[in-house]
């Protein structure tokens, strides 16, 4: 698999066919690199040799096949003299070429997003026809990695703007949908439209009432939003099925939103506890995601520890567990977007959840009528057990690891 895409970018090359003569003793007559393009019937080597003698050009390359010409170092006034030769079509300044590397975060590699036929990770920036709500601290509305649907932004927390005041929400959004644009990072579903729904303040804290406000907004726009990610949680339990009076307003709101067609993906939590003690992770109607410790994007446990002391290719030592876990996904040392147009590496089930939200988005692109339960089943079915299941896993069940290669 390719772990990075490289592109060669050539700087602007102004044509100097009519360079005015400049005195050699002026500061502007500095030595530079030039490309000389000749008429097609010229002997490139002969003309280059002539110009080296007549104009003191220092020849670097002579071209005789793709074009007729040569490259040389000379002063600006010498280049002007060369350009005046009737055998010369034009003279241009040489350009600087560089590789532009788009980083594939380890999590993107591990879930095989770069091989997904729907994601089409090929270095071409293409918007994806799917909408994902990020219910979080907001999202950097101007981040170059994200296609943020500003008209679909909502602040249920402090202030009026859904712009990210913390960084967490932007990081989540980047893992879901960072663009395939040959710089920065790339997401699982690159170019998906992001709806920022701010329910947490600048410290990453919010009330259940604010979270319900966000869910309410998503439900009101369920005709456009296919997937919602909630990398957040609080203490609580699942007190009953949807439709029962269980005095859990958050659960009832999610029930109604899922019934409207929105697939919810949520973080299991970072307390190394049973997810049954945390909401929304405990709810059956959502896709609850635990975190895999992965340091190199490959199975086998050979990754060298980077930002944490976890054991590579096993469940992260902070991750919640239990019967409510539906999938596991990479959640340690994840590189993604950050507020202020920046990037950051952080860990948590908050980082695992958006990998799955991106997978859900990919599935909805090709299965637009799929119900949330069908999306969950499809992602579980596409998952693999190709990770090291520790004998001491508290819940005794090896959850499938997200894999989007076939989505």
Same domain, 93 and 107: no
pTM greater than 0.85 (yes/no): no
Residues of the chain falling short of pLDDT 50? 1-27, 97-100
Same domain, 87 and 118: no
Same domain, 86 and 180: no
| Listed residue (334, 336, 163, 176) closest to 263, CA to CA | 176
Q: List, in sequence order, every residue forming a beta bridge with 34; answer none if it has no partner.
A: 72, 93
| The predicted structure's pLDDT at residue 143 | 96
Give catalytic status of residue 312 as yes or no.
no
Domain of 35 in residue numbering reads as 4-98
Same domain, 124 and 93: no
Residue 389 falls within a domain, yes or no? no
CATH code of the domain in which 224 resides: 3.40.50.200
Residue 390 falls within a domain, yes or no? no
Same domain, 41 and 57: yes
| The predicted structure's pLDDT at residue 197 | 96
Same domain, 200 and 319: yes
Same domain, 89 and 107: no
| Listed residue (404, 351, 350, 352) closest to 380, CA to CA | 404
Considering 143, 168, 171, 251, which one is annotated as catalytic?
168
CATH code of the domain in which 59 resides: 3.30.70.80
Same domain, 55 and 149: no
Considering 131, 136, 163, 238, which one is annotated as catalytic?
136
Please say which residue of 41, 69, 98 terminates a domain.
98
| Cα separation, 403 vs 109, whole angstroms | 10
Classify 347 as helix, strand or coil.
coil
Say which residues have a Cβ less than 8 Å from residue 200's Cβ, sequence separation at least 6: 136, 137, 138, 157, 166, 168, 169, 206, 210, 232
pLDDT in tens, 261-276: 999 999 999 999 999 9
Q: Which two tokens stand for residue 324?
A: 């409510």
Please say which residue of 69, 98, 127 terminates a domain.
98
Q: What is the dihedral of CA 170, 203, 214, 144, to 10 degrees?
A: -20
pLDDT in tens, 127-149: 899 999 999 999 999 999 999 99
Domain count, the chain: 2
Give catalytic status of residue 136 as yes or no.
yes
Please say which residue of 80, 98, 116 terminates a domain.
98
Considering 231, 336, 350, 353, which one is annotated as catalytic?
350
Contact 170, 229 (CB under 8 A): no
| The predicted structure's pLDDT at residue 127 | 86
397 DSSP assignment: -
| The predicted structure's pLDDT at residue 124 | 80
Same domain, 108 and 17: no
| The predicted structure's pLDDT at residue 75 | 92
| The predicted structure's pLDDT at residue 31 | 83
Same domain, 261 and 180: yes
Q: How far is CA 352 from CA 46, 133, 315, 361, in A?
A: 64, 16, 11, 15
């Amino acid at each position: 698999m390719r772990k990075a895409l490289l592109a060669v970018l050539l700087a602007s090359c102004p044509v100097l066919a009519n360079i005015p003569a400049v005195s050699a003793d002026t500061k502007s007559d500095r030595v530079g690199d030039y490309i000389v393009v000749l008429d097609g019937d010229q002997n490139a080597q002969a003309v280059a040799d002539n110009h080296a003698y007549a104009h003191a050009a220092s020849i670097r390359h002579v071209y005789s096949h793709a074009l007729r010409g040569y490259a040389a170092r000379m002063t600006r006034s010498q280049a002007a003299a060369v350009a005046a030769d009737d055998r010369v079509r034009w003279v241009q300044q040489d350009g600087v070429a560089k590789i532009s590397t788009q980083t594939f975060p380890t999590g993107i590699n591990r879930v095989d997003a770069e091989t997904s036929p729907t994601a089409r990770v090929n270095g071409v920036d293409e918007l994806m026809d799917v909408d994902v709500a990020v219910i979080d601290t907001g999202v950097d509305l101007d981040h170059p990695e994200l296609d943020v649907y500003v008209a679909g932004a909502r602040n249920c927390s402090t202030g009026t703007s859904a712009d990210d005041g913390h960084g967490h929400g932007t990081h989540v959004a980047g893992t879901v949908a960072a663009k395939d644009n040959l710089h920065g990072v790339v997401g699982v579903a690159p170019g998906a439209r992001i709806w920022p729904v701010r329910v947490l303040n600048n410290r990453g804290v919010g009330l259940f009432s604010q979270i319900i406000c966000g869910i309410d907004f998503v439900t009101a726009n369920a005709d456009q939003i296919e997937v919602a990610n909630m990398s957040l949680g609080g203490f609580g339990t699942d007190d009953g099925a949807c439709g029962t009076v269980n005095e859990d307003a958050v659960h009832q709101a999610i029930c109604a939103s899922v019934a409207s067609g929105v697939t919810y993906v949520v973080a299991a939590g970072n307390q190394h506890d049973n997810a049954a003690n945390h909401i929304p992770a405990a709810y059956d109607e959502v896709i609850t995601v635990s975190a895999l410790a992965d340091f190199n994007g490959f199975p086998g446990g050979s990754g060298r520890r980077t930002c944490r002391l976890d054991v590579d290719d096993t469940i992260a030592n902070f991750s919640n567990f239990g019967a409510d876990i539906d999938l596991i996904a990479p959640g340690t040392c994840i590189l993604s977007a950050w507020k202020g147009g920046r990037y950051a590496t952080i860990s948590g089930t908050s980082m695992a959840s958006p990998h799955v939200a991106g997978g859900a988005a990919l599935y909805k692109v090709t299965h637009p009528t799929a119900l949330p339960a069908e999306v969950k089943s499809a992602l579980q079915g596409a998952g693999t057990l190709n990770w090291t299941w520790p004998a001491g896993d508290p819940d005794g069940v090896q959850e499938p690891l997200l894999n989007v290669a076939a989505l």
